[in-house]
Amino acid sequence: MIIFLLYKIIYNAITTYITNRFDTKNNLLSLFRKHCVLKKKTVTIDDIARYLNIATSTVSRALSDHHSISDQTKKLIKDTAKKLNYRPNSLAANFRKGKTKTIGLVVPRINRNFFSNVIHGVEYVANQFEYSLIICQSNETYKSELEAIETLMNNRVAGILISISRETRKPGHIKSVIEKGIPLVQFDRVFEEIKSNKVLNDNLNGAYSAVKGLIDQGYRRIVHFAGPYYINIYQDRYEGYKKALLDSGLTPDEKLVFENILTREEGYEKTMEIFGKANRPDAVFAASDFSALGAMIALKDMNIKIPGEVGVVGYANEPFTDYISPGLTSVDQHSVEMGQTAARLLFEEILNEDENYVPKTLTLKPDLVIRDSSSGG
């Protein structure tokens, strides 16, 4: 009995082996596959080496201008490389070196004026350093921001630039980047408490000069359309607003400040509400050009003269501020410059050899661009 079972088992094993082994269909397939592989496509440094009958390492070094290769050999190798139409495989090089000549950028949205200008500035600098730029959108969500950081890290980018999404409240992912030793620059919307490079706008002084400008023109009861305070930039603008009032001997009135008025619609509604009543204020300082625009439209609809009766100042210096009439006085954030500065700072860290690099915080001074909407109370 046992012998019979044993026999069955062994027999089965053998027959299975044989049938598997001589599976003609599969064998034909593999032959075909091998044939396909034969048609080699790309030329590698190995090909160049074989062609010139020298070592691969010499070719590699020659192509990257290593000092220990004679100019003569370099020229020879480079010429044949061109002749054979050699294209370096960056993938292989990056893999071997464990790093890339690519930097990653995470922004809330690409097609917002401020960010598209920042991106422009970043790309400009990256290009100078001969680095590529991978761009990710967080779409203002925490989830996408996480994913973006994840893929950038998996792709071993040389460094990361990020402006935090509106939804993001926890800095864990940012920390993990730093812990991995990946150079990082936070810009505009940042976690203050995280120790990293930062590029900020001096929002406090930007707001300060805006409000100061209104006061200087004779406006006194100045409304402030603020953004959500948990975002540093809006908090700072609010502080600047208050400081400007205090410095001019005016008392900030909480009843004139409205949080979370950022869009045109919100600006319009709120303006209708506030300026529709008696004893109305005489100016608006909006933390956003769009709510300022909404205010202007509302004022026009109520037949209130700008700047004659009410002055308006916005923030961000969106292109349209120059095109509407009256032109909207606004605070320019030098967005392109901010991108450039952030990128340069990142490269400073990337190219830094020193073990203990100390992160920097740079603050850009915004400029008040005075137009008609605020000139003359």
Partner DNA sequence: ATAAATTACGCAAACGATTGCGTGATTATA
Partner DNA sequence: TATAATCACGCAATCGTTTGCGTAATTTAT
Q: Which residues bind a copy of itself (CB under 8 A)?
A: 87-92, 94-95, 98, 100, 102, 109-113, 116-117, 119-120, 123-124, 127, 132-137, 144, 151, 153-156, 293, 300, 319-320, 323-325, 336
Site string for DNA, 201-220 (x = CB under 7 A): --------------------
List C-alpha distances in Å: 65 to 19, 60, 88. Answer: 57, 9, 14
Q: At what angle do helices 56-63 and 71-83 cross, to 10 degrees?
A: 90
Q: Does 100 bind DNA (CB under 7 A)?
A: no
Q: Judged by CB under 7 A, how many residues of this single chain contact DNA?
A: 42
Identify the residue among 1, 2, 21, 303 touching DNA (CB under 7 A): 21
Complex with a copy of itself: residue 22 or 323, whichever CB lies closer:
323
Binding-site partner at residue 29 among DNA, a copy of itself, none, CB < 5 to 8 Å by type: DNA
* One-letter amino acid for residue 153 of the chain: M
List C-alpha distances in Å: 341 to 9, 199, 338. Answer: 74, 7, 5
Q: Does 153 bind DNA (CB under 7 A)?
A: no
Q: Does 67 bind DNA (CB under 7 A)?
A: yes
Q: At what angle do helices 289-301 and 264-275 cross, to 10 degrees?
A: 40
CB 325 within 8 A of CB 372: yes
Which DSSP state fits 373? G
Binding-site partner at residue 153 among a copy of itself, DNA, none, CB < 5 to 8 Å by type: a copy of itself
Complex with a copy of itself: residue 233 or 296, whichever CB lies closer:
296
Distance CA 350, CA 129 (A): 11
Q: Does 151 bind DNA (CB under 7 A)?
A: no
Site string for DNA, 37-56 (x = CB under 7 A): -----x-xxx-------xxx
Distance CA 78, CA 96 (A): 22
Pairing of strands 367-369, 330-332: antiparallel
- Cβ-based neighbours of 42, under 8 Å, separated by 6 or more: 87, 89
Distance CA 145, CA 346 (A): 19
Identify the residue among 3, 36, 98, 249 touching DNA (CB under 7 A): 98
Region from 10-18, 117-125, 204-212, 324-332 binding DNA, contact rule CB under 7 A = 10-18
Complex with a copy of itself: residue 115 or 219, whichever CB lies closer:
115
Q: Does 24 bind DNA (CB under 7 A)?
A: no
C-alpha closest to that of 117 among 363, 367, 339, 365: 339
For the chain, what's the residue count? 377
Identify the residue among 50, 75, 83, 97 touching DNA (CB under 7 A): 97
Identify the residue among 51, 73, 101, 109 touching DNA (CB under 7 A): 73
* One-letter amino acid for residue 302 of the chain: M
Note if the bond before 319 is cis, omega within 30 degrees: no
CB 159 within 8 A of CB 184: yes
Identify the residue among 6, 7, 28, 30 touching DNA (CB under 7 A): 30
- Taking the complex as a whole, the smallest distance from the CB of residue 67 to DNA amounts, in Å, to 6
Q: Does 102 bind DNA (CB under 7 A)?
A: no
Q: Does 15 bind DNA (CB under 7 A)?
A: yes
Burial string for 34-59 (b: 16+ CB within 10 Å, else e) reads eeeeeeeeeebbebbbeebeeeeebb
- Residues lying near DNA in the complex (CB under 7 A) are found at 12-13, 15-17, 19-21, 25-26, 29-30, 33-34, 42, 44-46, 54-58, 60-61, 63-64, 67-70, 72-73, 86, 88-89, 92-93, 95-98
